[in-house]
Amino acid sequence: MRRVLVVDDDLVNRKLARAILERSGWTVEECEDGASALASFDRAPVDTVLLDIGLPDMDGRDVCRELRKRRHDALRIVAYTASVQPEEMATLRDSGFDEVLQKPVSVAAVQAAIGPA
């Protein structure tokens, strides 16, 4: 079974993402900040990361760059954020994100961005 790491400091957003992803067949790990996400990834790498941009300890872009250093090959990293301006989309992609979702996310948007389990 494929694994996804959901990184968001908001518990409600994490639980919503978990529900969507588990319903789609993913095994879900959760973290509330960048440092714990990097530590979790080092312990048990995942196939995909759903990563909030505004974390309390690190910017999501920095977390993305660190994850890419650890495993760039097949890792899919999807940004999701409450506030993204159109001009920021290119900046996020340049930071290493494969997709960018705007909160609140829909089931269809998450499934399309993450793909099948």
Domain-located, residue 13: yes
Domain-located, residue 48: yes
Domain-located, residue 117: no
Query: Residue 20 contacts by C-beta under 8 Å, 6 or more apart in sequence?
Result: 105, 107, 110, 111
Domain-located, residue 116: no
Residue 72 pLDDT level (bands cut at 50, 70, 90): low
pLDDT given for residue 112 in this prediction:
92
pLDDT given for residue 29 in this prediction:
98
Domain of residue 8, residue span: 3-108
Residue type, 8: D
Q: Rounded to two decimals, what is the model's pTM?
A: 0.94
Domain-located, residue 87: yes
pLDDT given for residue 84 in this prediction:
73
Tell me: the pLDDT tens digits for 22-71?
A: 999 999 999 999 999 999 999 998 999 999 999 999 999 999 999 999 87
Examine the pLDDT at 9 and tell me if it is beyond 70.
Answer: yes
DSSP state of 106: P
Domain-located, residue 114: no
Q: What is the CATH number of the domain that holds 45?
A: 3.40.50.2300
Domain-located, residue 70: yes
How many domains, in total, are found in the chain? 1
pLDDT given for residue 37 in this prediction:
98
Classified as helix, coil or strand, 9 is coil
